[in-house]
Amino acid sequence: MTSEDLGKLDYQVMAIAFGIHDDFGCHWDESIYQVEMHNRILDTFSSSEREVPLTVSFGTFSKTYRLDLVVDEIGIYELKTVAAIEKAHIGQVLNYLRLLNATRAKIINFRTNKVESRFVNCSDTLSQRRSFDIATENYRGPKELSEVAIRMLQDLGTKLSNELYTECLVSNIGRSARRRVWADRNVYQRFNFVAENEAFVVTALDTGQANYRTHLKRMRQTARLTHLHWINVTPDVVRFESAE
């Protein structure tokens, strides 16, 4: 489908969204808008699918996301009932587009006085996201962690969510557990462990690494960990470090 065709499809979909907002108002749960969008879209288009599964797998890990609406097999829509469309919502949709190797989707927010919408465009390809340099000069952690993380990124690519990478690594080689922060206080923090007293974190920081490193060392000391390993995933470089 061409950009012109997609534009025509979206024009009709948005007319349906405006009509629902006019009829129902802005205070309903997201599921109400989703069902009504689906039903009205079927009056105009040949197909509309709700809660379309999108499964990502690596090793022992498998997770299924749900696409709110897919219209005529190519129009991807994420529906929201929030105060405003924010960066996190755009990141969520970018995550979906990258997993689909697709280029465009749209967020529709029904909660505002007038329907708010925003296109989300993705120009990078999976082959591009699989190409990155690796830096391990300051890493002192288990070889298995770095090797599995590299294989994961070579398979799934960079620029996905940190939460997804973390869940994938925990499933394959680690465990998530609460740890008592102070011996004399009943206060706990959850860590992702790869060995006894060794935990890891995943970030995607382009800037502010020095400040993050300082606070990571403080966390390691306070939690009485021997190592807190840091995997920073950027489009060009995947860096492994160990806070000691």
pLDDT over 90 (residue 3): no
Q: Order the strands of the 104-109 sheet from edge to edge.
A: 48-58, 61-71, 75-80, 104-109, 116-121
- Name the band, by pLDDT with cuts 50, 70 and 90, for residue 4: confident
Q: What is the mean pLDDT of residues 149-171?
A: 98
Element (H, E) at 226: none
Q: How much is the pTM?
A: 0.94
According to the model, what pLDDT value does residue 5 have? Answer: 81
Q: At what angle do helices 3-24 and 30-41 cross, to 10 degrees?
A: 120
| Average pLDDT in the chain | 96
pLDDT over 90 (residue 130): yes
- Name the band, by pLDDT with cuts 50, 70 and 90, for residue 2: confident
CA distance 65 to 125: 20
What does R_g of the chain's alpha carbons equal in angstroms? Answer: 21
Q: Order the strands of the 237-243 sheet from edge to edge.
A: 133-138, 237-243, 227-233, 198-203, 188-195, 175-180
pLDDT over 70 (residue 131): yes
% of the chain surpassing 70 pLDDT: 100
Please write the tens of the pLDDT for every residue from 55-106: 999 999 999 999 999 999 999 999 999 999 999 999 999 999 999 999 999 9
Please write the tens of the pLDDT for every residue from 39-59: 999 999 999 999 999 999 999
Closest CA to 108 of 100, 118, 123, 98: 118
- Name the band, by pLDDT with cuts 50, 70 and 90, for residue 182: confident
According to the model, what pLDDT value does residue 150 have? Answer: 98
Which residues, listed in sequence order, are joined to residue 178 by a DSSP beta bridge?
Answer: 190
- Name the band, by pLDDT with cuts 50, 70 and 90, for residue 117: very high
According to the model, what pLDDT value does residue 1 have? Answer: 61
CA distance 180 to 191: 10
Residue 224 gets the label, from left (phi > 0), alpha (psi -120 to 50) or beta, of left
- Contact in structure between 130 and 150 (CB atoms under 8 Å): no
Q: What is the mean pLDDT of residues 117-142?
A: 97
